[in-house]
Structure 1
Amino acid sequence: MIQHYTARLAALAIAFLVSYSLAAHTGSVRGIVLDGKTGKPLDGANIYLLPDQSSSVSNTFGQFLLRNVSPGPYTVSVGHIGYETATQSVVVEDGISVDISITLIASDIRLNEVTINSVKAQPFSSISDVDLKLRPLNTSQDFMRLIPGLFTAQHQGGGKAEQMFLRGFDIDHGTDINVSVDDMPVNMVSHAHGQGYADLHFLIPELVKRIDFGKGPYQLDKGNFATAGFAAFKTFDELDNSFVKLEGGMYGYCRTVAGINLLNSSHGDGKTSAYLAGEYSYNRGYFDAPQNFNRLNLTGKFTTLLSAGKQLSITLSAFRSGWEASGQIPERAVREGIIGRFGELDREGGNTSRYNMNVQYLQSINEHSLFKSNVYVCYYDFDLSSNFTFFLKDPLNGDQIRQREKRLLAGYNARYVNDYHLGPFKTTTEAGLGFRLDNTRNSELSHTLNSDIVLERLAFGDISEANFYGYAGQTLYLLPQLVFNAGLRMDYFVNAYNNKLPSEAMRSSYTTRGLSPKAGLYYNFSNSARLYINYGTGFHSNDTRVVVAQQGKDVLPMAHSFDLGTVVKPHPRLLLSAALWMLDLQQEFVYVGDEAIVEPSGRTRRLGMDISLRYEFLKYLFLDADINYAHARARDEAEGSNYIPLAARLTSIGGLTYRKGAWGASLRYRHLGNRPANEDNSVVAKGYTVFDAALNYSLRSFEFGLQAQNVFNTAWNEAQFDTQSRLRDEVMPVSEIHFTPGTPFFVKLTAMYKF
């Protein structure tokens, strides 16, 4: 037996040495990919060396490198979504690097430009770029809905962060999805309203260049909250044109946004760009009582090339919004005629603001290694008044609560990626580290009257939370089409709470830590199919007040997840993907921000299937559809009483999109199936199917648009909860569905001038 294994190891060593010897007699192809219109580098382009089938992807500076190429003639093929494929002939010689420059010409979007590149690792997929360009997107809420299987619900006049649902999770306002903008976190830890609260309304939609997203806890650089998935937004470094845009619609909706190029790299030294953008919107709303939602955004971004391969960007932004809201109403209030479907029982509302500074540094050390980092500072405040139970607890004054906080947030991220060869094997090393510091002042939950009279303080104190982390991973190309990756991430938390309630005054501090291993294996069948399996461990941290209450024990619940999937392109105009997945979440203790109590939450298991289709029917007509199924259950509860409230079982989005020349049109649907509203499924949150449509026309410097939401005026409920409440004149409380009605038929017009 020993001799057998010794012989096998010797044979493997000889094969390695022979391969290494052969690799020494090779050359390389080094190049840059440029945009034909602007002359700027293009990142994310797919590069193939034919007929060798070696591949690469251009980096942020448009650079790529193909190494260990045997001498001989080749064709370099370069493709990118929204550009015509370009080719160039090269002759590789022994020990020589061939330098080339390839320019891509913009064109209409074609699915035949989509390729399944072995260098692009899981869980990223090129269909994210397709979706971003084919779908009409107007608000940050629309962007989140772009992620297949993710649904959002707004239940306070448009002002609060949306409630989200993904992969069998009621994510609340962001507990199980990691959201970032230019590597600056959006999620708020130990937030007054809920853990992981992710308010994207400070992001001006017209400034979004790209969204990277993934499902499951598989991405090394995504730490806290990345259990169900992540969404990473990237804004433009430079505007193609200055613009002014006006929007107006039903129910008193109006919006204006402008972006002005202050410095354009196409002029001057060609290295520096800067723009300033602003947005103001107002919406009375479709409710009986005015919601008076208003939002003001200002963003400025400066980008410069310090030298070849070194880029610095500085972004400053300011956001403020205020609103009133009709809140969630009980079904019986409508059924008994007390109020109408769009009525209210108690006035709610709030205001919030966020001010950001984000400094990003990017350096291409050479064609195969990249370093990027960013440092950010944010000031944030939040003030929210709500009443979910009306007169259940206080029959005289009502149950109104106020949640508020002021926060200073700062942090640093650094990431290094190096592509190189280990003998005959291509490999990539990734490493990163960083920290995040949060300090809140006067985090409060109070029982109030008329939003400003404090009847009783339920929670009041200062929170300090620090997260230090580091990670390292390795990707090994065992064959040109067979890729293995593995990595490990460590997170260390320091949580401190200064309780200011007179009856509970004390200072407490605890530390926690967690390790998150991740691994994946995928195989590409030429450039038309991929089979993959992913394993990952992720987590969401718990509120600092939970950490203190539990004395640092059982407060970092880990999620263990598997994905088995495939991406197939059986026809140049058809792209299919499917995945089977399972996710187990450990037992935890949860801080209920609306009540200032800590509750236990048992182990859960979620499993399901995701299916996606993209099809180019005709030259200018596209069809897309995503179907997602999830089976979510509590593992420690009896059968029949183990449902997870509001976990979406069946969701689907899709539609038709037409684009030809100056014209564009789309008809889209959103379907969310019935869901259990409580643990035994005796109360059901009803599902809905809603259709939206859009029509756009471009004429030189002008663009005009018509958009219709809920085309068939479906009566649907956007947010739903099984809540026990008591109305003013009721003797006994009633537990039933409380809901926020969804948007009725709504039309808006848009006009943009570019200069």
Structure 2
Amino acid sequence: MKLLYSIFTLMLFSQISFAQSKGQVLDRNSRGIEGAFVLQNYKGAHYHTDRNGNFTIEKLATGDTLRVNALGYETVTRVIKNLDTDLTFALTQRFISLNEVVIAPDIDALHIFADVNLMTNPVNNSQELLRTVPGLVIGQHAGGGKAEQIFLRGFDIDHGTDIALSVNGMPVNMVSHAHGQGYADMHWVTPEAIESINFGKGPYFAERGDFNTAGFVDFKLKDRLNNNLVRFELGQFDTQRILGMYNVLDQKDHSAWISTEYISTDGPFESPQNFKRINLMGRYAGQLENNDRIGFTATYFKSSWDASGQIPQRAIDQGIISRFGAIDDTEGGATSRMNLQMEYTKNIDENSFVKTMAYYSEYDFELYSNFTFFLEDSINGDQIKQKEARQLFGGTAEYNRYFDLGENRLLFQLGGGLRNDQTIDSELSHTVNRITTLDSLKLGNINQTNTNAYANLDFTFGKWKVNPGLRFDYFEFDYYDKLLPTYRTQTENKSIVSPKLNFQYNYSSNLQLYLNTGKGFHSNDTRVVVAQNGKDILPAAYGADLGAIWKPAPKLIVNAALWTLYLDQEFVYVGDAGIVEPGGKTERRGVDLSVRYQPLKWLYADVDVNYTFARSVDDPEGANYIPLAPDFTVMGGLSAMFENGLYAALRVRHIDDRPANEDNSIVAIGYTVVDFNMGYQWKSIELGLKIQNLLDVEWNETQFATETRLAGEAAPVEEITFTPGTPFMATAVVTYRF
């Protein structure tokens, strides 16, 4: 009997033909979709597409069923009737379905959490772009034109000291900035131009260097618009926004678009903000022979504003001003940035390619602030001016090579880059009413260069993926201090080596475990470096994440992680005072939890919960709090998207009370804010309504423990100074697509 069964089985399988087959997954514009998932039912095997949408099946058999899906696209299923079947799959965009989320060794499942946010809650301003990153909190405190203050993983990152922000790989952070190290102004990005968001937390990525301690965020621009659009927004407080986005070239292998954006508002303050911003963006993307790709991006941004500044609580308690009043309403500023960028991907063969990118920026910045009022100068006040003109250029190159090792695979990456920042007349001055300069506190030229190289290995075998990496960075710091009596360029240099080692284990198609470890750093301001004579100027950061990405149900995905991060030093150049503040050694430990759930076809729920324990290592217990480090944050909401064009979303942001100084004797009060938006799209017309602070709660957007003195006060007082958060604010939106 066993002999007959063996003969029957042999005869059955002898009728099945096998072959190695190649295929491609395309979108409606015949562009390859990267990261699409291909499931082969016959073997239970799965594959994912490369950067050009290509995939290879080692053993394709007649009778196999291939199921292809990608986030935000309709799923396609095809039965293989013969081995000559065309394996080109064209996917149609659709409402996002968490059914399509796949957890596999070659897929970065973590970025899906931000992509779901972006797809279910389209953003209409550059501030909201950052809020799509799980656990990231922002605050504005200077009239809308200043870069946002950022909080992540127990860091008061200020404007970018410990998070690396980039757009298509071009850095946003400004080193040795007039207002402080790592200043990252995202306002030159039109949010509707963003295709996807890549992010990571911790210093675990060899291709990411300066500022990548708490994490990184890279925004990818669209290569092609789905349609042309014109958008008008009209809101309270004399708020207007006009946006136009147009395809100027829409061919299979070549596309180009331009966008124009204008924003103005007076804000809720008693002294109008007079805020005005213009953004111009343009991008070309082309596919050349051999699937080589090339892209060009050009942007221009300019804004100006007035600000009411941070106000002390006692001034409100004493009836001197209201919550939306000002002690010095002559604060404000102006800034601009022009960017040129080119990317080119050259395919060497089926298993290797080279990616290159080059960029150039011109940047101007001028900011007037008054944080202490009459503390230092009881007659003229303490207003300061921070100003700089900057040229920034750089580039990166990365070689990628895949090696097939039977059923296993190895990816080798070797890359490097160069960045040079040159500023003229980086200035800190004592001023009055933005007009009169009383004295110069800092004035000089900065020339800072970073060269780097890195190597990565991604070895996938069975259910495991191991990623060792090594990065080398070398910095040159030159500063010409124009306030010295004689000419002298102060020069220092420093290098640092940053090893990484990451593990990933795919227990099943629904559960991925990971352990990330690595060393990172953030550079210090050139003025800090020369002041410290080159000592302790590249403080190292050591971190580890232990986590899991779990899909317990078809429409539920969860990410949970335990993490720790230790910093050797937190030197910061305080641009407001022109001084160096060493923060000493610090440690942070925390828990991250993110959940995305789709209980109904049209309903989406998300929540991000983050807890952090952050302390200074060198200070005694009770006096070792890290000022303004958030210890508990919650962000989430519900989104409804109906096929008839109706949509709505309710969003909640919560940040708990947190210490504002080292002994927690001054507390920054937490807040809970609810936002709401809804709209209806009918054919080419879309009508919408956005409401910020739906419940009209009083909340403080940014807070600081600051020693200040008001006019006529005999002695200074240290207490909370803050910028009030936006009250109830409604904005109507009309969009026409064509």
Shift of 1:354: 0.2
Equivalent residue runs for 1:299-314 within 5 Å: 299-314=281-296
Q: Secondary structure at the match of 2:99?
A: helix
Q: Using the alignment, how far apart are the partners of 1:98 and 1:371 within structure 2?
A: 32
Shift of 1:536: 1.3
Decide whether the 8 Å contact of 1:417 with 1:428 is kept in 2.
yes
1:108 aligns with 2:95: yes
1:148 aligns with 2:134: yes
Q: Secondary structure at the match of 2:127?
A: helix
Of the structure 1 ranges 503-512 and 515-524, higher mean CA displacement relative to structure 2 is found in 503-512
Shift of 1:63: 1.6
Letter in 2 for 1:666: A
Q: Using the alignment, how far apart are the partners of 1:548 and 1:91 within structure 2?
A: 71
Paired residue for 1:85? 75
Q: Secondary structure at the match of 1:141?
A: helix
Q: Using the alignment, how far apart are the partners of 1:408 and 1:135 within structure 2?
A: 35
Q: Using the alignment, how far apart are the partners of 1:589 and 1:748 within structure 2?
A: 42
Q: Using the alignment, how far apart are the partners of 2:130 and 2:529 within structure 1?
A: 30
Shift of 1:489: 0.7
User: Which of 310, 329, 352 is the aligned partner of 1:328?
Assistant: 310
Paired residue for 1:650? 632
Equivalent residue runs for 1:246-645 within 5 Å: 246-265=232-251, 270-346=252-328, 347-479=330-462, 481-503=463-485, 505-645=487-627
Letter in 1 for 2:366: D
Letter in 1 for 2:625: Y
Letter in 2 for 1:170: D
Shift of 1:76: 2.7
Shift of 1:89: 3.8
Q: Using the alignment, how far apart are the partners of 1:271 and 1:288 within structure 2?
A: 53
Paired residue for 1:76? 66
Q: Deviations over 1:227-259 (max 9, x none)?
A: 001110111111111111100000110000101
Paired residue for 1:33? 25
1:167 aligns with 2:153: yes
Decide whether the 8 Å contact of 2:446 with 2:479 is kept in 1.
yes
Q: Deviations over 1:178-210 (max 9, x none)?
A: 000111110000000010000000001111111
Decide whether the 8 Å contact of 1:359 with 1:376 is kept in 2.
yes
User: Which of 228, 233, 240 is the aligned partner of 2:219?
Assistant: 233
Shift of 1:44: 2.3
Decide whether the 8 Å contact of 2:113 with 2:134 is kept in 1.
no
Q: Using the alignment, how far apart are the partners of 1:433 and 1:483 within structure 2?
A: 24
Paired residue for 1:720? 703
The change in CA–CA distance for 1:595 and 1:306 in structure 2 (over 3 A counts) is: same
Q: Using the alignment, how far apart are the partners of 1:502 and 1:32 within structure 2?
A: 64
Q: Using the alignment, how far apart are the partners of 2:255 and 2:37 within structure 1?
A: 27
Paired residue for 1:15? none
1:685 aligns with 2:677: no
User: Which of 119, 124, 128 is the aligned partner of 2:114?
Assistant: 128
Q: Using the alignment, how far apart are the partners of 2:353 and 2:67 within structure 1?
A: 23
Q: Secondary structure at the match of 2:282?
A: strand
Q: Using the alignment, how far apart are the partners of 1:460 and 1:210 within structure 2?
A: 40
Q: Using the alignment, how far apart are the partners of 2:453 and 2:359 within structure 1?
A: 18
Decide whether the 8 Å contact of 1:371 with 1:417 is kept in 2.
yes
Shift of 1:734: 0.3
Q: Using the alignment, how far apart are the partners of 2:661 and 2:21 within structure 1?
A: 60
Shift of 1:704: 1.2
Equivalent residue runs for 1:695-710 within 5 Å: 695-710=678-693
Q: Using the alignment, how far apart are the partners of 1:348 and 1:543 within structure 2?
A: 25
Q: Deviations over 1:576-613 (max 9, x none)?
A: 11000000011243221111112222100000000111
Letter in 2 for 1:118: P
Q: Using the alignment, how far apart are the partners of 1:668 and 1:489 within structure 2?
A: 39
Shift of 1:714: 0.6
For structure 1, list consecutive stretches of 5 or more residues without a partner in the other structure.
1-24
Q: Secondary structure at the match of 2:111?
A: coil
Q: Using the alignment, how far apart are the partners of 1:568 and 1:32 within structure 2?
A: 28
Paired residue for 2:46? 55
Decide whether the 8 Å contact of 1:63 with 1:367 is kept in 2.
no
> What TM-score does the superposition give when structure 2 sets the normalisation length?
0.95
Q: Using the alignment, how far apart are the partners of 1:539 and 1:53 within structure 2?
A: 43
Q: Using the alignment, how far apart are the partners of 1:419 and 1:223 within structure 2?
A: 24
Of the structure 1 ranges 409-418 and 399-408, higher mean CA displacement relative to structure 2 is found in 409-418
Decide whether the 8 Å contact of 2:161 with 2:183 is kept in 1.
yes
Letter in 1 for 2:514: Y
Q: Secondary structure at the match of 2:157?
A: strand
Q: CA RMSD in A?
A: 1.8
Q: Using the alignment, how far apart are the partners of 2:218 and 2:657 within structure 1?
A: 30
Of the structure 1 ranges 323-332 and 363-372, higher mean CA displacement relative to structure 2 is found in 363-372
User: Which of 646, 653, 656 is the aligned partner of 1:673?
Assistant: 656
Shift of 1:214: 1.1
Decide whether the 8 Å contact of 1:400 with 1:448 is kept in 2.
yes
The change in CA–CA distance for 1:27 and 1:98 in structure 2 (over 3 A counts) is: farther
Letter in 2 for 1:39: S
Letter in 1 for 2:131: R
The change in CA–CA distance for 1:90 and 1:548 in structure 2 (over 3 A counts) is: farther
1:65 aligns with 2:56: yes
Q: Using the alignment, how far apart are the partners of 2:38 and 2:349 within structure 1?
A: 18
Q: Deviations over 1:243-283 (max 9, x none)?
A: 11100000110000101211111xxxx32222121001100
Decide whether the 8 Å contact of 1:447 with 1:458 is kept in 2.
yes
Q: Using the alignment, how far apart are the partners of 2:484 and 2:34 within structure 1?
A: 57
Q: Deviations over 1:47-70 (max 9, x none)?
A: 233343443332332122344x48
Of the structure 1 ranges 405-414 and 103-112, higher mean CA displacement relative to structure 2 is found in 103-112
Decide whether the 8 Å contact of 1:226 with 1:539 is kept in 2.
yes
> What TM-score does the superposition give when structure 1 sets the normalisation length?
0.93
Decide whether the 8 Å contact of 1:555 with 1:588 is kept in 2.
no
The change in CA–CA distance for 1:427 and 1:48 in structure 2 (over 3 A counts) is: farther
Letter in 2 for 1:719: T
Decide whether the 8 Å contact of 1:658 with 1:664 is kept in 2.
yes
Paired residue for 1:9? none
Q: Using the alignment, how far apart are the partners of 1:611 and 1:630 within structure 2?
A: 12
Q: For this pair of structures, how many residues does the alignment match?
A: 720
Decide whether the 8 Å contact of 1:30 with 1:367 is kept in 2.
no
Q: Deviations over 1:108-142 (max 9, x none)?
A: 221111111211247x4322221210113111110
1:245 aligns with 2:231: yes
Q: Secondary structure at the match of 1:314?
A: strand
Q: Secondary structure at the match of 1:112?
A: helix
Q: Deviations over 1:394-421 (max 9, x none)?
A: 1111111100000000001112222222
Shift of 1:87: 2.6
